Amino acid sequence: MKRKYLFFDIDGTLTAGGYGHTYVPESTKEALKRLNEAGHFLAISTGRAQALAVGFLEELGFHHMVSDGGYGVTIDDKLLSITPLDKDKVIALVDECKEKGYIWAIQPENSDTRFAPDERFYEFTHDIYMKTKTVPGLDPRNYPQIYKAYIACFAPEEEKLESLKQLPWCRFHKEYLFVEPCDKAFGIRKILDHMHGSVEDVVVFGDALNDMSMFIDDWTCVAMGNAVDAIKAKADFITKNSDDDGIWYACEQLGLFEHVNE
Same domain, yes or no: 23 and 104? no
Tell me if the bond preceding 156 is cis, omega within 30° of 0: yes
Q: Decide if 57 contacts 77 (C-beta within 8 A).
A: yes
pLDDT of residue 1: 85
Give the domain range for residue 107: 87-179
Q: 3-state DSSP call for residue 189?
A: helix
What pTM did the predictor assign?
Answer: 0.89
Where is the domain boundary, 179, 213, 237?
A: 179
Within-domain flag for 127: yes
Same domain, yes or no: 170 and 112? yes
Within-domain flag for 258: no
**Rama region for 57: left / alpha / beta (φ>0; ψ in -120 to 50; rest):** alpha
Same domain, yes or no: 144 and 101? yes
| Cβ contacts of 139 within 8 Å, gap of 6 or more | 94
Where is the domain boundary, 148, 179, 210?
A: 179
Same domain, yes or no: 116 and 172? yes
Within-domain flag for 259: no
pLDDT of residue 128: 84
User: What are the C-alpha distances in Å from 226 to residues 77, 125, 229?
Assistant: 30, 25, 9
CATH of the domain at 73: 3.40.50.1000
Within-domain flag for 262: no
Separation of alpha carbons 107 and 235, rounded Å: 33
Where is the domain boundary, 179, 212, 229?
A: 179
CATH of the domain at 97: 3.30.1240.10
pLDDT of residue 19: 62
pLDDT of residue 22: 81
Same domain, yes or no: 247 and 228? yes
Within-domain flag for 192: yes
Separation of alpha carbons 24 and 11, rounded Å: 10
pLDDT of residue 20: 58
Q: Decide if 11 contacts 19 (C-beta within 8 A).
A: yes
pLDDT of residue 56: 87
Same domain, yes or no: 197 and 241? yes
Within-domain flag for 219: yes
Same domain, yes or no: 134 and 191? no
> How many domains does the chain contain in total?
2
* Per-residue pLDDT tens digits of the chain, which is 262 residues long: 899 999 999 999 999 987 656 899 999 999 999 999 999 999 999 999 999 999 889 889 999 999 999 999 999 999 999 999 999 999 999 999 999 999 999 999 999 999 999 999 999 999 988 999 999 999 999 999 999 999 999 999 999 999 999 999 999 889 999 999 889 999 999 999 999 999 999 999 999 998 999 999 999 999 999 999 999 999 999 999 999 999 999 999 999 999 998 6
Tell me the pairing of strands 169-173 and 148-152: unpaired
Same domain, yes or no: 77 and 188? yes
pLDDT of residue 21: 60
Separation of alpha carbons 256 and 68, rounded Å: 27
Tell me the pairing of strands 41-45 and 65-67: parallel
Q: 3-state DSSP call for residue 236?
A: coil
pLDDT of residue 243: 95
Angle at 214 between CA 238 and CA 241, to 5 degrees: 30
Within-domain flag for 260: no
Within-domain flag for 27: yes
Cα torsion through 140, 145, 151, 152, rounded to 10: -80
Same domain, yes or no: 93 and 219? no
